[in-house]
A and B are shown apart, each in its own frame.
Chain A
Amino acid sequence: MASALLEVDGLVKRFGGFTALNRVSLSVKPGERFGLIGPNGSGKTTLINCVSGSLAADGGRIRFEGHDITTLAPHRRTRLGIVRSFQIPKPFTSMTVLENLDIPLEYATHGRAHAASADEEAKEILRAIGLEPKAHLRPAGLTQIEMRKLELARAMAARPKLLISDEAMAGLSSTEVDDILAILFRLNEQGITIIMIEHIMRAVMEFSQRIAVLVAGRKIADGDPKAVVRDPEVVRAYLGE
């Protein structure tokens, strides 16, 4: 598919003798809301690490907007527009919430000369995500949900074309999940393509236009969410025989 934003083609990743990803292929269209599910240890985060560049693939190709990015360094992929959030939030602990956003604004978005306008933009992102009152706190002073919001806000500051949200809602309460979902919907409306990795089925089903299922490093289903969760193979993977 030539019009795909992200194209993963036959991706292989091994850790020693263990094959974490076994020729996984998928493609995500511009503007799509794409859900990626699978049991623990099925390779979801490994796939994300390969797409964002934290891990080098052992085989296969990754293309973004038609360019081969398989061997590109992670920071270069960020500048192209692939931005991820981390499952376990990884804030810059010595900086305030606002300064956390300045890093991607300075390094990924603006180049290094526009410190003043970057500050304005950082505040705007915090306002939109509801973190503005905490702008001058250190991450250590944030609650769980605020930490997740900071993860998303920082990703936003890198101006993604493709946002990969790695379990941004794990461990949150139902209303907090709605809160994050609303943010992701809003971002998608602004034209950002989103890949959501999530265990909370309610959230994935509500959010995704299409879902792919990974089991033991293989993709076993890909398609309409309602059809996918009824797929016998998917049911077997989750519930057993």
Chain B
Amino acid sequence: MKLGGGILIALGVIAAGVLVADLRVNPYLYFAGYVILQYVVIATAWNILGGYAGYVNFGTPAFFALGAYTAVFLIQWARAPLYVLIIAGGLVSALLGLGIGYLTLRLRGVFFSIATLALSIVLQTFVINWDYVGGSKGVTVIRPSAPLFGSHVKFLFAVMVCLAVLAVTAAWLIERSWVGRGLSALRDNEEAAECMGVPTLRLKLFATTISGFLLGVAGAPFPYYVTYVEPSSAFNLDYAINALAMPMIGGTTTWIGPVIGAVLLGTAQQVATVTISSELNLLIVGVVLVAFVVLAPEGLVGLARRLRGR
């Protein structure tokens, strides 16, 4: 697929998203669709670091919540418009990403993962004790009036379509560029990559920063979506688990993997929430993840390749 074709498809998806947002169907579908799209962004962002570079980040909630709380702060402070929230949320999380990028100098493998998990807890503690953004009891966010499409849920749905396209395009571009090839070299063997001329530190910093930016972007509209933000929902461990499970199920080596994983698992979770119980979500993820790790360790994409190769 050439660059031009990719851009056309991206624009097509956005146009389709806007059309869908303008339909008159059950509003709950937009509500659920938002969550699934949000997971497309999260899984794609996670995969840029976890799948391409091989650094497993358990701190997804930290980045997501940092985006969300940056938005809360800007709403409280200046009633900033949504696009400002998204850009600012992305940038603040990108800074955090740059920070954990420097961690990779000393921490590799499972130790890096543990550090990111700890990061999430540290940030949560910080937010719990920060009253301006609601502290532990949370904060109610009032949506601005008169959104596009006449409904906030529809509007946010359309915004999330755009953000998903942005995230997937970024992953697609990285995968096809020298950056992507360098990242897979350092994933395979960091020392050998460095000795073959790959500037591993710079590439890792790039990956953690982009990944952080997109995770923050995914979190920034969250306050307007839920209208009530409190630490335990913004820092929910579900984000860490889903961010990891979705790319694993879809396939971590290519951009389509996280998208497939997010759509399948995200949809399954939404259906289960409505038909059975929201408590079932993590159980579904757990069972599916174990099944995939055992039966198709390279995800659906890897499975499809194996079947085709036979």
Contact = CB atoms under 8 A, between A and B. Distances in A.
A92 B193 contact: yes
Nearest to A85: B195
A69 to B, nearest CB: 14
A92 B192 contact: yes
A74 B195 CA distance: 6
Interface in B199-213: 199-201
A103 B181 contact: yes
A167 B162 CA distance: 54
Chain A interface: which size bin? Answer: 20 to 34
A83 B195 CA distance: 7
A84 B198 CA distance: 14
A12 interface: no
A158 B196 CA distance: 7
Contacts of A79: 197
A91 B196 contact: no
B187 A103 contact: no
Contact of B196 (A53, A93, A94, A104): A104
Interface in A99-130: 99, 102-104, 106-109, 112
Given A54-B191, A92-B185, A92-B188, A103 B199 contact: no
Tell me the interface secondary structure of chain B in the complex.
helix
A75 interface: yes
B200 to A, nearest CB: 7
A187 interface: no
A75 B199 contact: yes
Contacts of B90: none
Contacts of A73: 194, 199, 201
Contacts of A104: 196-197
Given A84-B195, A104-B196, A108-B196, A92 B182 contact: no
Contacts of A103: 181-182, 185, 193, 196-198
Given A73-B199, A94-B253, A108-B197, A102 B192 contact: no
A86 B187 CA distance: 17
B198 A94 contact: no
Closest 5 pairs between A and B when the two form their complex, measured CB to CB: A108-B197, A107-B197, A90-B192, A92-B188, A104-B196
11 contacts: A53-B194, A75-B199, A90-B192, A91-B189, A92-B184, A94-B253, A103-B196, A104-B197, A106-B178, A107-B196, A154-B196
Interface of A: 52-54, 73-75, 78-79, 83-84, 86, 90-95, 99, 102-104, 106-109, 112, 154, 157-158
